[in-house]
Chain A
Amino acid sequence: MADTRIESSLQAGLRKSNFQLLLATATWVGSTAIMSFGPSRFWDFDTTVTFLAIAANLIAGGFMLYSFFRHLKNMDELQRQTHLEAMALTLGITMVLTVIYGALPQANVLADAQPANVLFVIGISYILSVTTLWLRRTSE
């Protein structure tokens, strides 16, 4: 009886923080879209509104970070270690690939480097790192 309660508390905690992280990420993505496209499409480059949109994006980003740390705290220690190692790997991979990507326009291989593309490198590296590390440790 007590054991079932303990299991539920671990899973319930993860489920709750997972949902909060999803909500925070969606809010941040939405506020990023408003900050990026709002000046040209909604408020005709009004600087005051643009600064308000930037402030809203910063707050949403802070909420997302807070939610992520809360989610990390709710994980069990193997999950947490896997994610922390994946972050370290992601940092290294992103650093190496960003330097190469930044050098491509100077070498006339690419016309223009878009900083936003780094987000794709971060996302893909993180997903691959978490999956690989988790499977390495938990494969039966």
Chain B
Amino acid sequence: MKNRLKVLRADRDWTQADLADRLQVTRQTINAIEKGKYDPSLPLAFKLAKLFGLPIEEIFSPDTN
């Protein structure tokens, strides 16, 4: 699954640690999601959507490959 997490985070001038703090996860989790090595759970995806004020599909999109 692809995502725009890095861009959205950079827009707000947040570090991975800042975002991790806001979501109550580790910085490594944010890094793994950004690099596409880990797909977040649905509750975490909803938390992200709420935090960025965007629908989930504007943050995550299916990997067509």
Contacts and interface: CB of A to CB of B under 8 A. Distances in A.
Contacts of B22: 3, 6
A78 B44 CA distance: 11
Q: Which one of A4, A78, A136, A140 has the highest number of Cβ atoms from chain B below 10 Å of its Cβ?
A: A78
11 contacts: A3-B22, A6-B21, A7-B21, A76-B25, A76-B29, A77-B40, A78-B32, A134-B28, A137-B28, A138-B31, A138-B32
Contacts of A138: 28, 31-32, 37
A79 interface: yes
B21 A78 contact: no
Dominant secondary structure of chain A at its interface with chain B: helix
Contact of B31 (A76, A81, A140): A140
A78 B24 contact: no
Contacts, number: 43
Given A3-B18, A7-B21, A137-B32, A76 B38 contact: no
A10 B31 contact: no
Contacts of B20: 7
B41 interface: yes
Interface string A1-28: 0011011011000000000000000000
A4 B21 contact: yes
Contacts of B41: 77
A6 B24 CA distance: 6
Nearest to A7: B21
Given A136-B37, A137-B37, A78 B28 contact: yes
Contacts of A3: 18, 21-22
A137 B38 contact: yes
Nearest to A78: B29
B61 interface: no
B35 to A, nearest CB: 9
